[in-house]
Amino acid sequence: MKALEEAMNHDRVIVLSAQRDPETEDPEVNQVYDICSLAKVRELVKQDEGTVRVLVEGLVRVRIKSTVAQSPYLKVVIEPHIEPVSKKNEHVEALMYSVLNQFRRVINMGANVSFDALLVILNMSEPWLLSDLIAANVEINVNEKQRILEATKIEEKLGLVARALGRQIKIMQIASKIQAETGKELDKMQRELFLREQLKSIEKELENMNAKSDNDDLPGRIEAADLPEMIKSKALKEYQRLKAMPSFSPETSYVRTYLEWLCDLPWNKKDETKINLRQAQKILNEDHYGLNKPKERVLEYLAVQKLVGKMRGSIMCFAGPPGTGKTSLGKSIARSLGRKFLRVSLGGVHDEAEIRGHRRTYVGALPGRIIQGIATAGTKNPVFMLDEIDKIGADFRGDPSAALLEALDPEQNSEFSDHYLEVPFDLSDVLFITTANMLDTIPPALRDRMEIIEFPGYTEREKLEIAKGYLVPKTFKNCGLERRGYRFSDSALTEILRYYTREAGVRNLEREISAICRKLAKKTVEGTRPQKVIKPAGVEKYLGPRKYSHLQASKKNDVGVVTGLAWTEAGGEILQIEATRMPGKGNLILTGQLGEVMQESARAALSYVRSVASQLGFDINFFQDADFHIHVPAGAIPKDGPSAGAAMAVALVSLLGDVVVDRTVGLTGEITLRGHILEIGGIKEKCLAAHRAGLKRIIMPTDNRRDLPDVPAEVRNSMEFVFVKNMDEVLSLLLKKTGPGRRMVKSRQSKKQK
């Protein structure tokens, strides 16, 4: 404004330059283009609100050379920009012809150009002025106009104008196409709306308006659903939106489905919980044999809930091998409480929306599995089992385990938020129970919210009782044999247990019993008369030759073979750790799909043996001209963990000293480079595996003595447990009394005593 006032008081000449950034409110000289226009102010009219209207006439192109002043307005030194003489040739005339044709297309497509300017442009023969006039009168962005202004050659200038016009033609073509399609759609909608209005009028004339609309029942359902006040107001608001929508709108089905979900959820409906500890204990004992610790924990939960009325305790997580009764115990808990039972399998779930639901903006959106389960149950306090929680996966769609954090936290789940509902739902009355085979794959934050209840494998006696009391009657009923007089002898069931199954649970045991019962059913239908009592000979007749050996350990004592103990998600297992020696260059070969931790344990065991070689009477250079190979069958099963370190060291000592190892003794423990035996995990499962394999003695670290009370009394009474602190004690216990290795260990112990 000040610059304009100064120009009006003198020669009315100003410099007009475009800003590089249009958003800058008060630009400096370096924020405008150097190539600009010198103009003369022809008219300046002051208007309301302090604005002015200016009419200017461009005189000549100029270049800003330097700055004279920044305040109170920009004052610059300019120099003329070279204006070359336009020379016409065939190329220039072709460009002019192309530019004029494009300009005519722009005019025909509806560009707004004054009639006077149109006459001048269409009759212009000077290419330089033609470029300027077209650029000034057609809608071209500032950057393109600036490049046209800065052009120094007529070919360049005409080419820039041609490209700008081409882009404008494309834009106008797209806009015309969009407008045409929109017009068609509007015509179609108007026609449909008109026809529907006619249909309503016809129905009214025929007095056929008694038929209710699909949406007429929603207000009554909203009132009957007993919704909380906040959620009820939201539902009514959505219903008003639904009424205002055209019936042909696709969104009506989405809104109606949402309202139906809100009405179907049991916001205040609960099953009456009748807690009777004696009755609950009776039901649990009827359905399951053993499992004393899980049953005791469930009864404690019921007792506290009966006293308090509502208990916000930790979520129970049943962890143990497959087939140990985790899922079926959840059903028994629901029966003892008088509540409905829901089970959702989370194995293989990768999408977070499976837990929290999809946003309503997506086509086919639904609530998550938790809200769907609550709606299916029809009550807000069911027993909800989340099965296989350790097998949840995560990918680009999110982490479902993170979505479970809120649902499984008693302090947060009173306002559980589902993405589809968009309103909080109270899950605090739900009794959540989760199951898992392995705890290692559960995220720490989720594991911290749950109380872990271990489900150990069954002993042989427990399996026998389960088979007699549960599996055989159930299978007889399923096969239609419950009234045919058939029965299994104890010796036959023991035969199946020992020689046809090898598991921590009873799933395979039930499968083998079912196989025999199916054959009995077939013979019964055929009219043959099989023996009513199934004996061991009959088991082999129906199931074929024995699949397993009862004693899984080696059949004879051998050099370099040690019986180790392992713990997997399927329960405890025994391992035959083998070591052998061959000519070579000091390499250690490890096979059997060993994990990184187990490989490190093998290297630590070898390092320990090398460090005490001279004390054991071995050649200290035994490793230089030989390779050692350690193998852990079965080679197709991956194995990992540090607990086989001590067994590997014993195998190497046995191999070097040519001393046999007692095959009936199981060994577990982590080894250090100094020969110390460190504490390991899974003692209960390993002891059960050793008991199933027929071992009589187990050597374990001294620090694991505290884990022994968790081992079933039947196993403790039938086996000997020896606790050790270092490898000297292990070698003296495992190596047989004959051979030089025994003398080596004794000599080393005597030296230590001295």
Catalytic residues: 643, 686
Residue 197 CA to residue 193 CA, distance in Å, equals: 6
The DSSP code sequence of 503-546 is -SSSHHHHHHHHHHHHHHHHHHHHT----SEE-HHHHHHHH-S-
Residue 460 CA to residue 463 CA, distance in Å, equals: 5
DSSP state of 398: B
DSSP state of 413: G
The DSSP code sequence of 52-117 is EEEEEEEEEEEEEEEEEE-SSS-EEEEEEPP-PPP---HHHHHHHHHHHHHHHHHHHTT----HHH
Of 437, 532, 551, nearest to 487 by C-alpha is: 532
Residue 624 CA to residue 728 CA, distance in Å, equals: 25
Strand, coil or helix: what is 340? coil
509 phi-psi bin (left φ>0, alpha ψ -120 to 50, beta other): alpha
Of 700, 735, 702, 732, nearest to 719 by C-alpha is: 700
Identify whether the C-beta of residue 656 lies closer than 8 Å to the C-beta of residue 626.
no
Identify whether the C-beta of residue 32 lies closer than 8 Å to the C-beta of residue 20.
yes
Residue 392 CA to residue 407 CA, distance in Å, equals: 15
Sign of CA dihedral 200, 204, 207, 212: positive
Residue 331 CA to residue 326 CA, distance in Å, equals: 9
Of 245, 248, 290, nearest to 457 by C-alpha is: 290
Could you tell me the two tokens for 429? 């009355």
Residues near 339 by Cβ (< 8 Å), separated by ≥ 6?
271, 273, 379, 381, 382, 383, 431
Identify whether the C-beta of residue 579 lies closer than 8 Å to the C-beta of residue 651.
yes
575 DSSP β-pair partners: 564
- Residue entry with tokens 């192309």: 98
Rounded to 5 degrees, what angle do the CA atoms 651, 655, 658 make? 130
Kindly tell me the burial class for residue 153, based on how many C-beta atoms sit within 10 Å of its own C-beta (0-12, 13-18, 19 or more).
exposed
In this structure, the dihedral spanned by the alpha carbons of residues 685, 690, 691 and 695, taken in order and rounded to 10 degrees, is -160
Strand, coil or helix: what is 592? coil
Residues near 356 by Cβ (< 8 Å), separated by ≥ 6?
368, 403, 417, 418, 419
Residue 749 CA to residue 754 CA, distance in Å, equals: 9
Strands 315-319 and 450-454: parallel
